[in-house]
Protein backbone atom coordinates (compact mmCIF):
# COMPACT_ATOMS: atom_id res chain seq x y z
CA UNK A 1 0.00 0.00 0.00
CA UNK A 2 1.32 3.43 -0.92
CA UNK A 3 2.12 5.96 1.77
CA UNK A 4 -0.49 8.41 0.45
CA UNK A 5 -3.67 7.85 -1.48
CA UNK A 6 -3.56 8.27 -5.24
CA UNK A 7 -5.13 11.38 -6.72
CA UNK A 8 -7.75 11.12 -9.42
CA UNK A 9 -5.36 12.70 -11.97
CA UNK A 10 -2.87 10.76 -14.08
CA UNK A 11 -2.86 7.68 -16.27
CA UNK A 12 -0.58 5.44 -14.18
CA UNK A 13 -0.26 4.76 -10.45
CA UNK A 14 3.01 6.76 -10.50
CA UNK A 15 1.31 9.75 -12.15
CA UNK A 16 -1.62 9.55 -9.74
CA UNK A 17 0.80 9.89 -6.81
CA UNK A 18 2.31 12.96 -8.46
CA UNK A 19 -1.18 14.10 -9.49
CA UNK A 20 -1.80 15.83 -6.17
CA UNK A 21 0.10 18.68 -7.83
CA UNK A 22 -0.92 18.84 -11.49
CA UNK A 23 1.98 21.08 -12.53
CA UNK A 24 4.55 18.68 -11.09
CA UNK A 25 2.82 15.66 -12.65
CA UNK A 26 2.59 17.32 -16.06
CA UNK A 27 6.19 18.59 -16.03
CA UNK A 28 7.57 15.28 -14.75
CA UNK A 29 5.58 13.32 -17.30
CA UNK A 30 6.62 15.61 -20.16
CA UNK A 31 10.31 15.31 -19.33
CA UNK A 32 9.93 11.54 -18.94
CA UNK A 33 8.34 11.26 -22.38
CA UNK A 34 11.15 13.25 -23.99
CA UNK A 35 13.87 11.22 -22.30
CA UNK A 36 12.25 7.84 -23.01
CA UNK A 37 11.86 8.32 -26.77
CA UNK A 38 14.55 7.93 -29.39
CA UNK A 39 17.03 10.79 -29.23
CA UNK A 40 20.76 10.57 -29.67
CA UNK A 41 20.32 7.21 -27.91
CA UNK A 42 17.67 4.66 -28.82
CA UNK A 43 14.68 4.02 -26.60
CA UNK A 44 15.76 0.33 -26.55
CA UNK A 45 19.13 1.23 -25.06
CA UNK A 46 17.51 3.51 -22.48
CA UNK A 47 15.05 0.78 -21.49
CA UNK A 48 17.98 -1.49 -20.63
CA UNK A 49 19.50 1.33 -18.57
CA UNK A 50 16.14 1.86 -16.83
CA UNK A 51 15.88 -1.86 -16.03
CA UNK A 52 19.43 -1.85 -14.66
CA UNK A 53 18.68 1.09 -12.40
CA UNK A 54 15.41 -0.48 -11.23
CA UNK A 55 17.20 -3.49 -9.80
CA UNK A 56 18.98 -1.28 -7.25
CA UNK A 57 16.86 1.84 -6.72
CA UNK A 58 14.19 0.30 -4.49
CA UNK A 59 11.00 0.85 -6.48
CA UNK A 60 9.00 -2.38 -6.65
CA UNK A 61 6.79 -0.91 -9.40
CA UNK A 62 9.82 -0.17 -11.59
CA UNK A 63 11.55 -3.45 -10.81
CA UNK A 64 8.47 -5.46 -11.79
CA UNK A 65 8.77 -4.25 -15.39
CA UNK A 66 11.60 -6.69 -15.93
CA UNK A 67 15.30 -7.33 -15.56
CA UNK A 68 17.89 -6.17 -18.09
CA UNK A 69 18.10 -8.37 -21.19
CA UNK A 70 21.87 -8.61 -21.46
CA UNK A 71 21.71 -11.18 -24.26
CA UNK A 72 20.31 -8.50 -26.59
CA UNK A 73 22.94 -5.80 -26.01
CA UNK A 74 24.87 -4.24 -28.83
CA UNK A 75 28.22 -2.62 -28.02
CA UNK A 76 26.77 0.83 -27.23
CA UNK A 77 24.12 -0.66 -24.94
CA UNK A 78 26.70 -2.79 -23.12
CA UNK A 79 28.92 0.26 -22.51
CA UNK A 80 25.94 2.37 -21.38
CA UNK A 81 24.66 -0.33 -19.01
CA UNK A 82 28.19 -0.83 -17.66
CA UNK A 83 28.42 2.90 -16.96
CA UNK A 84 25.03 2.73 -15.25
CA UNK A 85 26.32 -0.05 -13.00
CA UNK A 86 29.30 2.14 -12.09
CA UNK A 87 26.87 4.96 -11.27
CA UNK A 88 24.87 2.64 -9.02
CA UNK A 89 27.98 1.68 -7.09
CA UNK A 90 29.59 5.14 -6.98
CA UNK A 91 26.40 7.26 -6.64
CA UNK A 92 27.68 10.16 -8.67
CA UNK A 93 31.32 10.07 -7.55
CA UNK A 94 32.41 8.58 -10.84
CA UNK A 95 36.06 8.64 -11.84
CA UNK A 96 37.09 10.44 -15.00
CA UNK A 97 38.44 7.13 -16.31
CA UNK A 98 34.86 5.80 -16.48
CA UNK A 99 33.86 8.79 -18.59
CA UNK A 100 36.95 8.29 -20.75
CA UNK A 101 35.82 4.74 -21.55
CA UNK A 102 32.26 5.92 -22.16
CA UNK A 103 33.50 8.62 -24.56
CA UNK A 104 35.33 6.01 -26.64
CA UNK A 105 31.91 4.70 -27.69
CA UNK A 106 29.51 7.63 -27.27
CA UNK A 107 29.47 11.20 -28.53
CA UNK A 108 29.21 14.13 -26.14
CA UNK A 109 25.52 14.42 -27.06
CA UNK A 110 24.96 10.78 -26.21
CA UNK A 111 26.87 11.06 -22.91
CA UNK A 112 24.78 14.09 -21.95
CA UNK A 113 21.54 12.28 -22.81
CA UNK A 114 22.62 9.13 -20.96
CA UNK A 115 23.53 11.03 -17.81
CA UNK A 116 20.29 13.05 -17.91
CA UNK A 117 18.34 9.81 -18.37
CA UNK A 118 20.17 8.11 -15.49
CA UNK A 119 19.58 11.07 -13.16
CA UNK A 120 15.90 11.50 -14.06
CA UNK A 121 15.16 7.78 -13.94
CA UNK A 122 16.88 7.46 -10.57
CA UNK A 123 14.79 10.34 -9.22
CA UNK A 124 11.62 8.68 -10.54
CA UNK A 125 12.55 5.34 -9.03
CA UNK A 126 13.43 6.96 -5.70
CA UNK A 127 10.02 8.66 -5.70
CA UNK A 128 8.36 5.28 -6.30
CA UNK A 129 10.40 3.75 -3.48
CA UNK A 130 9.63 6.64 -1.09
CA UNK A 131 5.93 6.25 -1.81
CA UNK A 132 6.04 2.44 -1.53
CA UNK A 133 4.60 2.13 -5.04
CA UNK A 134 3.92 -1.55 -5.63
CA UNK A 135 3.93 -3.61 -8.80
**Domains located in the chain, CATH noted:** 13-130 (1.20.1290.10)
Distance from C-alpha of 114 to C-alpha of 14, rounded to nearest angstrom: 22
pTM to 2 decimal places:
0.95
List the one residue out of 41, 108, 23, 109 whose CA is nearest residue 80: 41
Which pLDDT score is estimated for 102? 96
Which pLDDT score is estimated for 94? 95
Length of the chain: 135
| 22-59 residue pLDDT tens | 999 999 999 999 999 999 999 999 999 999 999 999 99
| 67-79 residue pLDDT tens | 999 999 999 999 9
Q: How far is CA 84 from CA 40, 43, 45, 65, 98, in A?
A: 17, 15, 12, 18, 10
Distance from C-alpha of 88 to C-alpha of 51, rounded to nearest angstrom: 12
Amino acid sequence: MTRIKESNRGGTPFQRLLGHNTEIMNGWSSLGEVLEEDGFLSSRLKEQVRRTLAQENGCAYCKAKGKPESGTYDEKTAISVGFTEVFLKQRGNIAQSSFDVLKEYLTDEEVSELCAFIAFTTASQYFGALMKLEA
